[in-house]
Structure 1
Amino acid sequence: MIARNNEINLLLEALATYPAVGIIGARQVGKTTLAAMLTRKWSGPVHHFDLENSEDMARLFDPMLTLKELRGLVILDEIQRMPEIFPALRVLIDKKLDDLRFLILGSASPQMLRQSSESLAGRIRYHRLSGLGLDEIPSGQSEQLWLRGGFPLSFLAQDDAKSFEWRKAFVSTFLERDLPQLGINVSSTTLRRFWNMLAHYHGQIWNASEFARSFGVADTTVRQYLDRLTDALVVRQVQPWHENISKRQVKSPKVFICDSGLTHALLNLPAKHDVLGHPKSGATWEGFVIEQIIRLLRADESECFHWATHSGAKLDFLHVRGSTRTGFEIKRTSSPRLTRSMRIAMHDLKLKHLFVIHAGEHIFPLAENIKAVPISRLSETLMGYL
């Protein structure tokens, strides 16, 4: 088991300020394990309800009756199974009981947990839990993290074959059981085909018309499929950045499978040599690095963009926080070079810094405020940036 101390500390800080904190993340990403780790550092009583357990569901048949007498930390696991509990939580939170906190675990985005956004607005802080990150694994294992992905049971598997077997099983279970439980009423066969096609499209600009033609449905229908998988936290849409400059800019999102290990499973790439020999190898590495950047910067979706012009200039990832803009180019090479596109991005976007993340070993400057950074030094570089 890998101790996720940074995540625990962030949650403890949030619980000191907010009466309710929500941990959201894909199934099997480690939410329940993280909550158990947190309880070891919690000084007061802890009450745990697993809403996939019929006995706990029965105990919460009348949630107000059960919860109003509790004090300390109340953990509600798989909250999307019982959205009707949120009004009761709002009433209890509004009593402003200093000795009562709620830790809510869910396998869907806040947008999908519509009841929480309506009932707990201003009372809850969400924390998105991704898979294991570069700052949590032993030094020198970044390539294994890329190949296997960040799901703990996949990364920690006995060997690559066991890891691949786990990921293939996850995809099937997720499509056949988990998505219907989230209220997504699309056949598992259709979503499997869509997800597989999306894996081949990984890292590209979204083109609804192309997908719609393949499925023989309307553009709006395939857009709904994309949004459903995004809400289930297995797909990421990186929105385009555009502003008033004298260039025509791309205004569609880039799409990624959030976990590189799942991408490799969907592409049926069980081993390292399969991944390295596949045309999407560079794209899956780009997606992996972007997820690590977002995680290390604790960036929310409103801060994350890509940028591209119709004349060919582009930037893989743009982070905007306040008035500060930081760019990232991602190159799976050991010797990245300065490109014209990088210079255009620096000038047109008025970047404070541009980091070129690469697969080599050394940090070195490419130009003023443009620095090449190896993936192995990404954590320390971004911690300095923060």
Structure 2
Amino acid sequence: MTLLPLSMDELAEDGRLGKLSADKLLIQGFMPELYRENSRESSVYYRDYLNTYVEKDLREMLEVKNLDKFLRFITLLAGRVGQVVNLSSMSGDVGVSSATLAQWLSVLEASYIVYKLQPYFSNISKRHTKSPKIYFTEIGLASYLLGIETENQANRDPLRGNLFENLIVSEVLKSRLNENKILSCFT
């Protein structure tokens, strides 16, 4: 069973979606905890979420020795949301090999933190050889990693369009999973 963040449909069912601006959705994201009464601020929630995931789960799974480098990597991924990611060029920015980054990315994808969206080509060979774009399953986490904490910041951020694209892709992903369909969306 795969559990993902809430969907827009789920928020609409109980009337909460209409009360939120697009920029608020980009910041808050869709984690159920953030829609409970008296919930924490989204920035506090995502800080704690990231600390728990990185400091406990990831350290055990990957035996990550330098958490700062992993955090730099996941933050750089957030800065490249909706784009093709070149691990070779990122390896210099992070300070680890591209093979290590590929391993980290694989774990992030397996744990539904990120999603690689394959491009669409009518030629099936091209479809499988061209590079995918990267998206976060939880848009609020991507915004948190980028330091976006207010609607004003979200509205002015140069990645706002990419983040909104990410929101749409993650909604399609959730819809397909909820309908037990194969995850084969294309850009």
Q: TM-score range by the shorter chain?
A: 0.7 to 0.9
115, 125, 130: which is aligned to 1:236? 115
Letter in 1 for 2:64: V
128, 135, 141: which is aligned to 2:9? 135
Determine the structure 1 residue equivalent to 2:85.
Answer: 206
Determine the structure 2 residue equivalent to 1:300.
Answer: 182
**1:19-67 CA deviation, whole Å, 9 max, x = no partner?**
xxxx2xxxxxxxxxxxxxxxxxxxxxxxxxxxxxxxxxxxxxxxxxxxx
Distance 1:268 1:205 in 2: 21
Change (3 A) 1:248 1:295: closer
**1:75-112 CA deviation, whole Å, 9 max, x = no partner?**
xxxxxxxxxxxxxxxxxxxxxxxxxxxxxxxxxxxxxx
Q: Which runs of 5+ in 1 are unaligned?
A: 1-22, 24-127, 307-386
Matches within 5 A, 1:305-344: 305-306=186-187
48, 55, 62: which is aligned to 1:184? 62
Contact 1:167 1:262 in 2 (8 A): yes
Change (3 A) 1:213 1:180: closer
Post-superposition offset of 1:198: 0.7
| DSSP 3-state at the match of 1:202 | coil
Determine the structure 1 residue equivalent to 2:32.
Answer: 152
Q: Which runs of 5+ in 2 are unaligned?
A: none
| DSSP 3-state at the match of 2:147 | coil
**1:272-308 CA deviation, whole Å, 9 max, x = no partner?**
111111111111111111111222233432x2222xx
| DSSP 3-state at the match of 1:135 | helix
Post-superposition offset of 1:249: 10
Larger helix percent: 2
| DSSP 3-state at the match of 1:205 | coil
Contact 1:238 1:255 in 2 (8 A): yes
Change (3 A) 1:135 1:207: same
Change (3 A) 1:172 1:249: closer
Post-superposition offset of 1:150: 1.1
Letter in 2 for 1:225: W
TM-score, normalised by the number of residues in structure 1: 0.42
Change (3 A) 1:243 1:213: farther
Distance 1:292 1:300 in 2: 14
| DSSP 3-state at the match of 2:64 | coil
Distance 2:127 2:144 in 1: 36
Post-superposition offset of 1:260: 0.8
Distance 2:107 2:176 in 1: 25
Check if 1:174 corresponds to 2:53.
yes
Distance 1:211 1:170 in 2: 24
Question: Over alpha carbons, which structure has the higher Rg?
Answer: 1
Check if 1:223 corresponds to 2:102.
yes
Matches within 5 A, 1:50-69: none
Change (3 A) 1:192 1:217: closer
Post-superposition offset of 1:209: 1.7
Distance 2:5 2:28 in 1: 11
Larger strand percent: 1
Distance 1:191 1:218 in 2: 12
Post-superposition offset of 1:248: 11
RMSD: 2.5
How many correspondences in the alignment?
176
Distance 2:95 2:132 in 1: 22
170, 187, 193: which is aligned to 2:72? 193
Percent identity reads: 27
Contact 1:235 1:256 in 2 (8 A): yes
Contact 1:155 1:163 in 2 (8 A): no
Higher relative contact order (CA 8 A, sep 6+): 2
Contact 1:238 1:304 in 2 (8 A): yes
Distance 1:274 1:169 in 2: 21
